[in-house]
Amino acid sequence: MKEEEVIILSKKCNFHAVKASSLKLEASGREYWRIIDADNNSMVLCYLNPLKGDHLNFIAISKELIKNNISCSKIVHHNKALGVTIQHDLGDGDLLSILDEDNKNELLKSSLQMLSAIQNSSINNINKFTKEELLGQMNLFKDAFCRNFLNVNVNSSIDNLITTTLNYLFEHPWVNCHFDFERRNLILDNNELTIIDFQDMRIGPIGIDLAGILVDHYHEVDLCATKDLLKFFSKKVKLDCSEDDFFEFLRWGTIQRNLRILGTLSNLYLTKNRSFRLKDLPMILSNLLQMIPENHASKEFIINAISPTLIKRVSEI
């Protein structure tokens, strides 16, 4: 959308904006805009084409999170017909932007405390992931990323990696799963962590959200620091599991998540020409490699056939 269109939408929703600036465009098609009125009050407008979806899940889950005393983005207006919610403006202090070597450990521990609280909360009316959904998400790696984006035909080792991952995930504890619990979606507002973009919350494997916060898409994973944070997390949750167990939860959650994201971002480029995240693909693939077990044949195939092809492909765009 253009700024003028957002301003018009805001006025139809009882906020008389005079300025609007784009914040982010999500893979889901949601557009986030900061809207400001003549008195310099600001809100965040989220738009989703009503023909492509709605905000009802987001609104319902917001109420559940608030009921469980979990700080989350609060909605002040909703217009279903227009596809708009207006939310409090939490500022620009997302963890991806503000983490540094001095505050990183403290803020990641706070994030893990919040994750534990979410997982231990009673949240009504959220669905459970099916095998077909988790499998379909990983198959995007084969179809969209490898075959369509890189023009690489995968071998049986990739199919084995996907099948093995799926089997492990169904052996792990299943909990409330934000499904995108990453640093972009955690905002430090008045020294309190607040969560956003929780509309896709489901019941799912514990490792997927651990992967979101501990294996970031924009930085190389530090396995030593990650294991220390997992040790901290293991003491916060009510599970009779060893530290090694938690690393395995993280390992297979990361593999599922990174296979899915590589496929999703490639598909966005191929179908909608959204190239802004292509630069992140090499790091996402590198972190995937770090988490695949050393003896798994897919590791060699990715190193030899996929990684160099990806570097060349991204450099050409």
Name the band, by pLDDT with cuts 50, 70 and 90, for residue 214: very high
Is the distance from CB of 214 to CB of 234 less than 8 angstroms?
A: no
- Collect all residues with Cβ–Cβ distance below 8 Å to 75 and sequence separation of at least 6: 58, 59, 62, 85, 86, 87
Fold of 3-88: Phosphorylase Kinase; domain 1 (3.30.200)
Q: What is the full DSSP assignment across 202-222?
A: EEEEHHHHHHHHHS-TTS---
Q: What is the pLDDT of residues 55-93, one digit of tens each?
A: 999 999 999 999 999 999 999 999 999 999 999 999 999
**198: β partners:** none
Closest by Cα among 131, 223, 210 to 176: 210
Other C-beta atoms lying within 10 Å of the C-beta of residue 262: 26
Ranges 25-29, 33-37, 140-144, 262-266: which has the least confidence: 25-29
pLDDT at residue 24 tops 90? no
Residue 308 CA to residue 310 CA, distance in Å, equals 5
Annotated domain spans of the chain: 3-88, 95-316
Question: How would DSSP label each residue in 229-258?
Answer: HHHHHHTTS-----HHHHHHHHHHHHHHHH
CATH code for 95-316? 3.90.1200.10
pLDDT at 27 over 90: no
Give me the pLDDT at residue 62, please: 97
Q: Return d(Cα 211, Cα 200) in angstroms, integer.
A: 16
Model confidence at 30: pLDDT above 90: yes
Instruction: Tell me the two tokens of residue 175.
Output: 């909990």
Which range (24-28, 40-44, 90-94, 241-245) has the least confidence? 24-28
Beta bridge partners of 177: 202
Average pLDDT, the chain: 97
